[in-house]
Every structure is written in C-alpha cells, then in structure tokens.
Chain A
Amino acid sequence: MSTDTNRRGSDSSRSAASAPASASGSASSSATTTVFGVPANLLATAASLVLIGTFLAVVYDITNVVGRRDQFVLLAAGTLALATVVGWTLRPRYALGLAVLIAGGGFAAYFLALPESQVALLSPERLLADTFALLSGLSALRLLSADVWALAVTPGPVFLAWYLAVRGRIAPAVAVAGSGLGLFVLTTDATGTLTLLGVGAGMAAVGFDGIDRFGSAGGQLDVLTVVLAAMVVLSATVTVLPGAGGSPVIPDEGVAEQPTVEASLVSADDRISIVGSISLSPQVRFEVQSTSPDYWQTATFDRYTGDGWVRTGDTRDYEGGRLAGPEGPSRLVRQTVTPATPLDSMPAAWRPVAVSGAIENETLVTQQGNLRPDRAVEIGETYNVTSAVPQYTAASLRRTGTDYPDEIRERYLALPDSTSDRVRDRAAEITGDAETPYDKAVAVEEWLEANKEYSLRVSRPDGDIAESFLFEMDAGYCTYYASTMVVLLRSEGVPARFVTGYTTGERVDGDRYVVRGLDSHAWVEVYFEDTGWVRFDPTPAGPRQDAESTTLSDARNEGRPDVDTNETNVESNETEQPTTTANDTETPTENGTETNSTPVDSSAPGPNIDERLGITPTGDGATADDEDDGLVPEMPSRETVFVGLVGLLGVVAGVRRTRLPAHLRFATAAYQRRTDSPADDVFRAYDRLELALERDYRPRRPGETVRAYLDSLSRVGVDERTRQVGRLYERAKYGDGVTRADADEAVAAANAVVRARLPLVRRWAD
C-alpha cells in the first residue's frame, strides 16, 4: 500500500470519526491562540480597557480640576459595569441604540446645566464654531461648566467601546475609544504620556486581535512588538529632541532650553503651565507713556489646575465705546503703548475701558476684562488705552462684605478636588485671627514674602504647585508666589485670581516707562465687594529687582543692542519701583520685606536671559536643574532606561523577524562530517534537510511525523530524493538500521538540497 493512500485514508477517517463527536453535542473546542500563555483575545480586551482607561484618565484630570470628580468616578464605573452586563446579554443593534441614547442624554444634560445667559447665545453656528475651537486646541478646561461637559462626554464612548470590547469586536472598540482619546489630544488635555499609552494600547489591542483571529504563526507577535517599540521609541526621542517639550503630541512652539519668565507668563495663551528654572530677558518690549505708573496687566486666569492656570470663557470683539469699569470708585489713567518688539498681548493698567489706535478693530476682550490683540501688535504700532484704576484704601477694603455674586463665587473660589487638607489647614493657620478678606489677603501676602525666598532656579515640583511651594520648596519666583497666594485665599473663601503682565519698568523722561522682558511678572488680584479686583503682589520686591538689575547689567556688559533705548539710563541698573500709584501706599507689600530676603544669585547660567513675561508652557523636570547633582555621575533617567529597554525589545523582535539566527544556523548546515555510525549520519543529514525545508516552507510541528511533514511539503515541491532521506531516517530510527551506502545517499541528498540554498557555498562546492 502506497504512502499516499495511507495519508488519504488517514484524512478521511479523521473526518468520519469526528462526526459522532459533534453528533453527541460535544463540539470540539476551537483552539485559542495564546501569547506567552495568555489567550490573545483576553490580551486584546485588556488592551482595549487600557485605551478606555487613558480616555477616562484624561476626563478624571479634568474633573479633578473643575469639580465633580467623585461623580465622574461613579459614572465611569457604572458605565463600565453596564457595558459589561449589556455586552453579555444584548445584541449589537439594541446596544448601539442604547449607546446613542446614553450619549444624547449626556449632551442634553450638559445643555440643561448651562447657565441661561449662555443658552441664550447658543446657535448652530456658535456650536459649530465652538466645536471647531475645541478640535483645534481649545482646552476643555476652558469650557464653561466644564464639569458637566466632562460628565456628559464620558458615558457614550466608554459604554460603546467597552460593550464592543466585551463582545470581542476589538477593532470597532478601539476606533470608538481612540476617537474619544483623540478628541482630548486635539483639545490638548491629553498629556503626551497618556496619549502614547492610549495609542500603544490601541495598537496592541488590534494586534492581539489579529493574532487571535489569524494565529500567531509567521511571527506576527514579532511584528507587533516591533511596531509598538518603534512607536514608543520614536515618540520618546522626538519629544526629547526639540527641547524638553512636555506634550509632544501638540508641540508648543519649541522653547529653547530654559524658558524665560516672560515666555512662561505673558504670551497670549489661554493657559499657563508652571515650569522649573527660568531666566530673565533684558530685551526692551515696549515703552508706555502713562499719566500714572502702574503694573501693566496682560492676562488674567481663573481656573487653577494644580500645575498651571487656565483662562475660561470666550473672548468677544471690542466694538468701540467704553467698557465696564470697576464696581467701585476709579480714576482714569491714559496710556500710550509703543511696542519695541512685536507683542501678542496688550499690556494695560487694570481696568482697561477703552482702546484706540490701529489695533482697535482687532482687539478682543476676555471675560475677565483684559484686552488682547487678535494679531501681533507690530513694532512702533502705537495704541492708546484708557484704564479705570480702582480707588480704595485699606479701611474701605476692610469694610466690604463677603456677599459675593454667584458668578464670582463659582469662578474664583474653585479649587481642584485634589487640594489637600494640609493646604487648607495651613491657609487657616496663616490667616489666623484675620477677620476681613482684606486682612486675610495681607496676612497671606506677608507670610509668603517672609517665609519663601526668591529664586529663578527651581525644580518644578511633581504634584500640586501651591502645595509643593507651601510645604516642600524654600524658594520660587513670582508664578509660585502668586499661585500659592490664590490657592490659600480661595481655600479661605476669598475670591482671588492669577494675573500676569509687566511691572512698571524703567522710568525715563517724566511719564514714560521702558518695559523689558525682565519686568514680566505674575501677581494676584483679590475681589472685594463694591470695589472690584484689587492687586496684591506676594513676591518679595527687593530680591526680584536685584535679579532684574543684575540681568540687565550683564546684558549691557555683553553689549546687547536691544536692552536700551536712547533714553534709558545706561549707568543705572535700577528699574522703576512700582510704588508710586496711589493705591500702592495702601498695600504694605511693595517695600515691606525687602530686607528679609537674600538676593538671588542670578549669575547662574541663564544665557538666555530673555523675555520675562511669557506664558509658554514647557517641559518639567526633563532637564535637571538641581545644582547638587553636579558631582554625582549622571545616571540615565528612568524614562531613558525604559525607552532603551523598549527599543532593545524591538530590535530583538526585529532580528527574530529577519530570521537572522536561522540564517546563521543554516550556514552551519552546509557541511557534514561523516561519522562511524551510518545511523548518526542519516540523522544529521535529515536534520540539515529539515533546516533547509524550515527555511523555505515551514518548520515541522511538534506532533508532526517526519513522514507527514515531507508528504505535506511534497505537494509544494519537495522532490523524491528528499523524501528518500526521510525514509532512510525512519528506517534508521525505527527500523532495522541503515547501511553505509544508505548513509552516503542521505548525506549526498542533504548536501545537494542545502547547498542549493547557499549560493556562495554552492560555488565553492561545485
């Protein structure tokens, strides 16, 4: 009986005998593909869950800042549980309907929760414009009622994605969850790490799903590993290259090395991320001619995120005429601003009520009352601003009540849910016996000036900025002082906000002031009933001015041309002290504590002593600024090690993919030394042959016999000579042995087959 009939017989008997198994109801279990012993479909579902998790993490961060965090956690858990149950029970058609219902319900709830004044403004165009703004980088944090919005967007995608994942429909699940995460990538709320994790998880989910469906044969796992590793390594290195960008997905115009105070504070952004070390820029920004010196305010921020500030709400066009002034008595101050470099902000004394000049028609007014240009204000493009500066005295502020309007309460008393109790306790301790909001503000201001030192060289802390500054840091600069003061006041129930702009600058020629990058500053405004917003500056003035003048003289010594105008006093390093406004005498802050603080050593590296009023969010601790580390040999950071390991994994998988080891092993099979034992020679010849066949076709499976292997390959081109080697192998192994002649035949056949696949060796051998 020929071998062929034997095989055919085997196949048909297999199918015949499988019939009773299925007839008796015990369908043979379909084989599940496993990866490292874990079923691939389980891995795919888990990876989908990770992707959904990244989406949820972003929303969690948002709710942590804007409130309703606990409700969000409950909602997310409930949605996942519901999707799990529905996934086991409900058919896709109905589940899809349910998902649409859930998503629609969420948005209906959002619109119902919007303040009536906002709902009145709603129109399709407006909605469309808002959506576009969100998708082009408007942070969700800037939405009004962002808390309700977050709760509204969560359940729809989470439910649908997890339902699909539970049903084993991995690809659609990844698409849904990925879109959710993608939304936050576009709104810039998703951090680079989370995005990377999400994208990686999505890729892994789809990859494992593929392995589950099509089996892991052919090194699909290798391909998946290579792709994932490439993604991690690429994104990590691309992040590292253009300066320490914290959010590589949406690169913020790359800020070189150390950001300047200005860059971190005063650019026209709607958001401030607090950074680590910072430097000062001596470059002249603008000149202002003013009937009264003041702080030149550029932006106001109301929402504290724990690691920075966000300005919420829309802007509206300035349409001429007079804007609302402060609630209480005020005095008009007229300013004429002449930019010396293009400005993307419009510095003005609080509170600007009118603007004129070429920029007038392209001026926007923020909901907080600041002006900002719709385009950069060009050099020499002078504009006039009239401000209604609030008038008050300590006594008048002490008399004010605490019956704040709802809008003020909602916006300016909010703190992240994660604000710790020790911050609140410390606030209570500092304000101690102060009874009026004014006294509390003064107490906080004095405490900060007295207890923290001024330094531009700090490591950005990991957690909440205010908390870190209060409890862990000894020194910081204006951003830290101001942020901390706002947090302390808010936790004491005093409405406060974070303000950026420039200090008065160097006085030249009577009423004109030259303002440089190093004058950029951040301070605090506190709301008082019947008065409006009143400025407090918790940053110790002395050390700050010392740092500024050192920077300036250094720049002059270097001969920089852009640090002076014709009128500035080259001999003097002193910039104007902003103490001459009427109200400043009421706030005991400006001169009070200079002597307590030690001047900062600003000869420290900071070659880029540049703009000081900036707002550019830049990286955190990637560049270590701790000078103490100088002596310690630099250890690779955890990130570097991680990226390195992932890269290594990718290389290993890639090498496996290229089957280089197999090539090397194969090359060793080119020759065979004959031994005394014909059987051993036949075995070795067969092994070489199998290596060649493995390379060309596929390896022999564990449970596959030599005969079955060669038979199956004979259909795709194994010749009779090769099969003869197989028969000799069988005889040597299981039968009555082989002769010397048999062994020679087998070796010759193996030589021919192997060398045919090694072109170089073939040439030598022939």
Chain B
Amino acid sequence: MTDAHADADFDPALSVEAVSDLATRISENVERVIVGHHDAIEDIIVALFARGHLLLEDVPGVGKTMLARAIATSIEGEFERIQFTPDLLPSDVTGVNVFNQQTSEFEFREGPVFGNVVLGDEINRAPPKTQAALLEVMEELQVTVDGVTRRVPDPFTVIATQNDVEPDRTYDLPLAELDRFMKKIHLGYPNEAEETELLGRVSGHHPIESLEPVASASDVRDARERILDVTVSEPVRRYVSRLAADTRARADLGVSPRGSIALVRAAQARAALDARDYVVPDDVQREVRSVWAHRVRTTDERSGRDVVERALDTVPVE
C-alpha cells in the first residue's frame, strides 16, 4: 500500500472534515438511486476509504449491482462486473494476451478486474482456481499475465456477492480467502415503505442513467491517505487486541492479526467519516461485527457473530 502512497498526488491539507464531507456527498448521491440501505452504503464507503474489499451475502435481486454501480459512478470511477459461473476461467477475470493479426503482435486484453469498483457476482459459483485469481488481485493490486505485471487502477475496491440460496451448487470460500475481505455485510430486503418508494423511482427512467459523479477518483485517493493519519491511541489498540484474544478464547478459530489490522483500518475510516481525527472505542464497536464475524469459526452451533457479540459484552472498554 505504500506504493499507492507514492502514486497518489497527496494533499496534506485535506482535513477529516473534508473526508467526512466527501463520504456524505457520495452516500447521499448513491441514495438517490438506492432506497434504504444507508448502513450498507456507509459500510461500502468505509471499505473503499480503508482500502478494503467487501463481501455481500444475499439473495439475488436486492440491488447489489445497482449499489456497486452507483458507488462507481459517484466517484467517477470505472465500474466492472464479473458474473462468476462454474465454467469461468481465471483468464476471464484477469484478461488475456490475444494475437492482433493487423499488428502481428500479442496484445493484452484487460479482464473485467481492471476497474475502480469491481462487482464479483456470486463469487461462490466459480471453481476455487477462478476465485483465487480474483482474490490474488485483491491482495496484490496487480495482475500478472505471461510474465507481464500490470497494476489495477487506484482506487480499487471489489464488492463480491455470495449467494446462499442454492448452497449445493456452490464452492464455499475457504477461510483464508474470506479473510481477504475487510467486511462482510448483508443487505436484506427493503421494508414496505422503502419498496414502495423504490417502485416509484424505477417506474420511469431508471435514476442510475442520470446519476452524476460527485467526486473524483483522486478525491478518494486523498481521503485514503488522510485516513492513514487518524490517531489510534494505545487504549484503543489494547481494546482491539483484547477483543481479538477474547474471540480466540471462545472460538476454535478466532480472529487473526490480519483481522485486527483490518479492524483498526476500518475504525480509522469510521472515525474520519464522523469527522474525528482519532479513533474512539465506539468506532471499533461499530465496525467489529462486519469486519470480524466472517473470520471466526466455531464447531458448535454458535455463529461467529455470537462470538463477537460475546466479546463486546465482556471485554471492558478502557
């Protein structure tokens, strides 16, 4: 990530208020298209600002694609969509070298992974090898094909969706790969008022067609830089490690240090969204469920979420 630091035209004058303002602009803009889901939008912005990726677990048809597109449009970024299917190949994700007969040269045709906001739809339908291709990009921020390495654009955020409707036709993501997603959230159905509103909005021209950007990709890069400077005091760091230790004591597989790092990042972004230059335990508590629940494995019937809730209840706040 330090590379990104070098690449960005870093503006030290950007204040946390400006970051908060930017987030508000983006989320208000997205909400012109998406009805409800305010928290999910904030979660995505947190992931976007904290250089994380996001896993959406949901039923089809609740507006995942529209959400990702609206985010991409709002930041004037490239939106790409990959529909994962059982026969999808890794090269379908990353891109291939094709022979151009006119120039008699191989030229690289970029896969859909080259975008600012990439929607990986139903990622658990593809075989593990294809999944791994995407996950590698998420980690490395680059694609290597035939020995040539190409960086994906910055900002780069993957929003992957997982379908839990037909679990027998899926390849579950291994825990090590789940760990690469900063957050896992759940959209859920709109309530009655929201759905009524939604139907009203889409009866004419879909509002996504007329959605205008409210920020630039470079604004997002600045915000990402600024968030790195949000203070994480020692009491907060200690609180995070105690929470992590608690999950490790309660579950068969607790939260990894990578999970702790992700939580601190997310909390920093959350603090900035709140126009604060330092992280308070509330930020940690606000983020911990979506950042950790999918990283905890238990053998009994308790879910990772139970373990996290339990840790929140018992670990005292300093």
In the complex, which residues of chain A have a beta carbon less than 8 angstroms from the beta carbon of B276? 735
Pairwise interchain contact A703-B278, C-beta atoms closer than 8 A: no
Q: What 5 A-B pairs are tightest by C-beta distance, nearest first? A: A735-B278, A702-B316, A13-B39, A734-B233, A26-B303
Count of CB-CB pairs between chains A and B under 8 Å: 112
Q: A16 and B186 in contact (CB under 8 A), knowing A703-B316, A734-B278? A: yes
Picked from A23, A703, A704, A705, the residue with its CB within 8 Å of the CB of B280 is A705
Picked from B39, B57, B278, the residue with its CB within 8 Å of the CB of A9 is B39
Please tell me the number of chain A residues within 8 Å of chain B, measured between CB atoms: 35
Can you list 20 residue pairs at the A/B interface with Cβ under 8 Å?
A1-B20, A6-B286, A12-B38, A13-B286, A14-B289, A16-B40, A16-B185, A16-B188, A20-B186, A24-B303, A26-B302, A702-B317, A703-B313, A705-B280, A707-B281, A733-B235, A734-B233, A734-B235, A735-B278, A736-B278
In the complex, which residues of chain A have a beta carbon less than 8 angstroms from the beta carbon of B233? 733-735
Q: 1/0 contact trace for B125-158 toward A, CB 8 Å?
A: 0000000000000000000000000000000000
In the complex, which residues of chain A have a beta carbon less than 8 angstroms from the beta carbon of B313? 701-703
Please tell me the number of chain B residues within 8 Å of chain A, measured between CB atoms: 46
Judged by a CB distance under 8 angstroms, whether A731 is at the interface is yes
In the complex, which residues of chain B have a beta carbon less than 8 angstroms from the beta carbon of A707? 280-282
Judged by a CB distance under 8 angstroms, whether B277 is at the interface is yes
Nearest CB on A from B267, distance (A): 11
Judged by a CB distance under 8 angstroms, whether A21 is at the interface is yes
Picked from A6, A12, A735, the residue with its CB within 8 Å of the CB of B274 is A6
In the complex, which residues of chain A have a beta carbon less than 8 angstroms from the beta carbon of B289? 13-14, 17
Judged by a CB distance under 8 angstroms, whether B290 is at the interface is yes
Chain A residues touching B, majority SS = helix
Report the bound CA distance from A27 to B23 in whole Å.
35
Judged by a CB distance under 8 angstroms, whether B92 is at the interface is no
Pairwise interchain contact B39-A705, C-beta atoms closer than 8 A: no
Q: 1/0 contact trace for A722-733 toward B, CB 8 Å?
A: 000000001101
Which of B63-71, B195-203, B206-214, B304-312 sits within the interface?
B304-312
Nearest CB on A from B15, distance (A): 14
CB contacts under 8 Å to B, within A1-30, are: 1, 3, 6, 9-10, 12-14, 16-21, 23-29
Judged by a CB distance under 8 angstroms, whether A81 is at the interface is no
Pairwise interchain contact B231-A19, C-beta atoms closer than 8 A: no
Nearest CB on A from B95, distance (A): 34
Nearest CB on A from B88, distance (A): 25
Q: A704 and B317 in contact (CB under 8 A), knowing A1-B24, A17-B293? A: yes
Pairwise interchain contact A708-B39, C-beta atoms closer than 8 A: no
Chain A residues close to B by CB (< 8 Å): 1, 3, 6, 9-10, 12-14, 16-21, 23-29, 701-708, 730-731, 733-736
A10, A24, A703: most-surrounded residue (chain B CB, <10 A): A703
Report the bound CA distance from A95 to B42 in whole Å.
55
In the complex, which residues of chain B have a beta carbon less than 8 angstroms from the beta carbon of A1? 20, 23-24, 273-275
Picked from A9, A29, A731, A733, the residue with its CB within 8 Å of the CB of B302 is A29
Nearest CB on B from A445, distance (A): 75
Pairwise interchain contact B306-A26, C-beta atoms closer than 8 A: yes
Judged by a CB distance under 8 angstroms, whether B244 is at the interface is no
Nearest CB on B from A187, distance (A): 51
Pairwise interchain contact B280-A10, C-beta atoms closer than 8 A: no
In the complex, which residues of chain A have a beta carbon less than 8 angstroms from the beta carbon of B20? 1
Report the bound CA distance from A21 to B301 in whole Å.
10
Pairwise interchain contact A24-B164, C-beta atoms closer than 8 A: yes
